[in-house]
Amino acid sequence: MAEENKEPEKAKERSKLNGTMRRLPDGTWVPRRGRAAKFTDASIIAALHKTRGLVYLASQVLGCTPLTIFNRANKRPEVRSVIEDERNRVVDFGELKLIEAVQRGDAWAVCFLLKTQGRRRGYSERFEVEDIRREMESIRLELASATGRSPGTPPTRFTQDRIGYPELSS
């Protein structure tokens, strides 16, 4: 008799885990209104591992929409972390291949590496905003010393009185 009572309890625990039950403020569990979760966290995570964190491919594997996986990732941190971890793993693999291409001496790889990772050492085809700010500051200080003004003094503005426009006769 005790064994028969345990089976429904186990089923109830499983349904709590896969999202078919919801907890009320008083602590009791009731069936979730609306549609039950068709895809478990475990099945979504397995599909994300299989597709290297690519949500659209994982949705095809599961037979659901990508929105289903995005919604689950927003609700469940463990799903979100699998997406991030798999994407980081792919980026690491790409960096490894780039390093191998640099070591082989492939010109495109050397150029790409210097333009991206070597940017702080001056390997860039464009000025960064910070570089332009430093250049403008040095020009401002140079102008201030040449004109004898302090660096914070704004330039003198000319008004009609200083230019001396002639009076208009009416």
Within a domain: 142: yes
| pTM of the model as a whole | 0.51
Cβ–Cβ < 8 Å for 64, 38: yes
Tell me how far apart the alpha carbons of residues 17 and 30 are, in angstroms, rounded to a whole number: 13
In a domain, 145, yes or no: yes
pLDDT digit string (tens) for the chain, length 170 residues: 455 556 666 665 655 556 667 777 787 777 666 555 588 899 999 999 999 999 999 999 988 889 999 999 999 999 999 999 999 999 999 999 999 999 999 999 999 998 888 887 777 776 666 777 788 888 888 887 877 777 666 656 555 555 555 555 55
Considering the domain boundaries, does residue 9 fall inside one? no
58, 50 Cβ separation under 8 angstroms: yes
In a domain, 125, yes or no: yes
Looking at the 3D structure of the chain, how many domains does it have? Answer: 1
Cβ neighbors of 89 (< 8 A, separation 6 or more) are 52, 53
Whether 161 is covered by a domain: the verdict is no
Sign, CA torsion 50/52/55/56: negative
- At 55, which helix (H) or strand (E)? helix 55-62
Q: Which domain holds residue 140?
A: 118-151
Q: Tell whether 14 is covered by a domain.
A: no
Q: Do residues 49 and 84 make contact, with C-beta atoms less than 8 angstroms apart?
A: no
The Cα 39–Cα 114 span in angstroms is: 45
